[in-house]
Amino acid sequence: MNHPGPPPPPKHPSPFTTPRPVDEENINELAELAMVLREEQIQARIVHYKAEMETSPELDAITAQVVEQLKALQRELAMQQKPAENRGNIEQEQIQTLTRLLGRIFRPDTVSVLVEQRLKNVAKKMTKLFFESELHEQTTANQAKLRTIYHAEQALFYVLQRYNHRLRAELEAFEYADPEIKELTIDLLDKTQNDFRVSFLSRRSPELKRMLAILNEVLLNFFRKELPPHLPRLAEEVIQESRSARVETAMGYKVLHESFDAFRQAFERRFLSRLVSHVQHTMVKQLQQSEDSFRDETIAFVQMPQVYSEICALICDGVYDFLCNEGFLDLPIDWRAEIQTQPDIR
């Protein structure tokens, strides 16, 4: 019988072992780390999707030929309809359209359906990330600093997790009267460790719920009050940085699929900069000033880059899908197909 070992450590543990000062340098560093994690997430997702695709050389050749013919037709049409001097007009039209569409998502008067639905997924994702961080005995994978023990179940779980392989080997070495007894013994070890895990995490749940309530309030404030006044500037920065209006076949009413990757990177970098600047500062302040006691580890948790890369992923993927459905953003075929293969977060 195959018995799983202890859960593996996260690929990117938090570099923050204790709450850090909230200053401009740390905010910029956190935003950059979150962007790096987001880029790695995108690459891993696309590689995973493409690895499962069954390709045909003949079909690929035909597809490439059709795509090239379509691009040539678009270039010819663009040369006829849009002289070089109109590039500035195209850029302004893209900026105005993006500003208008983003205004339908991030509304000061009410919460849009997209934001409301995505915030529910943010809460689920943060719960999973929080519990995963709690289950690791060390505050980081690269340092020997151990977590402070707040609960008996926490200490016993860490010890069983630390010596799981040794305990399993010791139990395997015994001589058993019946193979079934051996199997039951190993199962009991797994059950004991799991019971301590569940009991420990259940003790962390009240603090997690309080933290999530504050996070939800802070994010709502960000999306309804902080972000909307800056949407025109955000749209201008994204269109200019991505140079989506400068490609040969650029159109004023939409961003073409060949500009999507540059558009995505520009949008997420600007989005993350504003998100981290507001949310991290506000969260740390509210957790520290709350009447309810929050551990230093919890305050450090809201300063983890993973928190912001996950929020970015959930919100921005929804934004791209909305912009595509509105006809403004041409998503590459593999991006849309890959997104559709991702399981819904429930």
The alpha-helical segments, DSSP class H, found in 243-295 are 260-289
User: Is residue 335 within 8 Å of 262, Cβ to Cβ?
Assistant: no
- Domain presence at residue 14: no
C-alpha–C-alpha distance, residues 234 and 247, integer Å? 20
- Domain presence at residue 17: no
CB atoms within 10 A of CB 207: 18
The confidence score (pLDDT) of residue 193 equals 93
Look at the chain and report how many structural domains it folds into.
Answer: 1
The confidence score (pLDDT) of residue 3 equals 46
The confidence score (pLDDT) of residue 37 equals 85
* pLDDT of 341 over the 70 cut: no
The confidence score (pLDDT) of residue 125 equals 93
The confidence score (pLDDT) of residue 223 equals 96
Say which residue, 312 or 338, is predicted with more confidence. 312
The confidence score (pLDDT) of residue 21 equals 63
- Domain presence at residue 15: no
Per-residue b/e over 55-73, b at no fewer than 16 CB within 10 Å? eeeeeeeeeeeeeeeeeee
- Domain presence at residue 242: yes
- CA 195 from chain center: how many Å? 30
Q: Lowest mean pLDDT: which of 8-12, 97-101, 289-293, 318-322?
A: 8-12
- Domain presence at residue 156: yes
- Which of 300, 309, 6 has its CA nearest to residue 145? 300
Q: What confidence tens digit (pLDDT) does each residue in 166-224 have?
A: 999 999 999 999 999 999 999 999 999 999 999 988 988 999 999 999 999 999 999 99
Angle at 125 between CA 192 and CA 279, to 5 degrees: 125
Q: Lowest mean pLDDT: which of 247-261, 288-302, 326-340?
A: 326-340
The confidence score (pLDDT) of residue 41 equals 79
Q: What confidence tens digit (pLDDT) does each residue in 235-276 have?
A: 999 999 999 888 878 888 899 888 999 999 999 999 999 999
On average, the pLDDT of the chain sits at 81
DSSP letter, residue 251:
B
* pLDDT of 108 over the 80 cut: yes
Q: What confidence tens digit (pLDDT) does each residue in 19-63 have?
A: 666 667 778 888 888 888 888 877 766 544 444 445 556 655 565
Q: What confidence tens digit (pLDDT) does each residue in 109-146 have?
A: 889 999 999 999 999 999 999 998 888 876 554 445 67
The confidence score (pLDDT) of residue 48 equals 41
- Which amino acid is it at 322? F
Report how far apart the first and last C-alpha atoms of the chain are (Å, whole number): 30
The confidence score (pLDDT) of residue 343 equals 43
Instruction: List the structure tokens of 251.
Output: 């159109």
User: Is residue 121 within 8 Å of 316, Cβ to Cβ?
Assistant: no
Angle at 278 between CA 277 and CA 279, to 5 degrees: 105
The confidence score (pLDDT) of residue 146 equals 75
Angle at 117 between CA 49 and CA 114, to 5 degrees: 85
- Domain presence at residue 346: no
Average pLDDT of span 329-338? 73
- Which of 333, 326, 248, 330 has its CA nearest to residue 74? 248
Sign of CA dihedral 343, 36, 227, 209: positive
- Domain presence at residue 1: no
Segments forming the whole domain that contains residue 233: 24-341
* pLDDT of 277 over the 80 cut: yes
Q: Is the pTM of this model over 0.85?
A: no
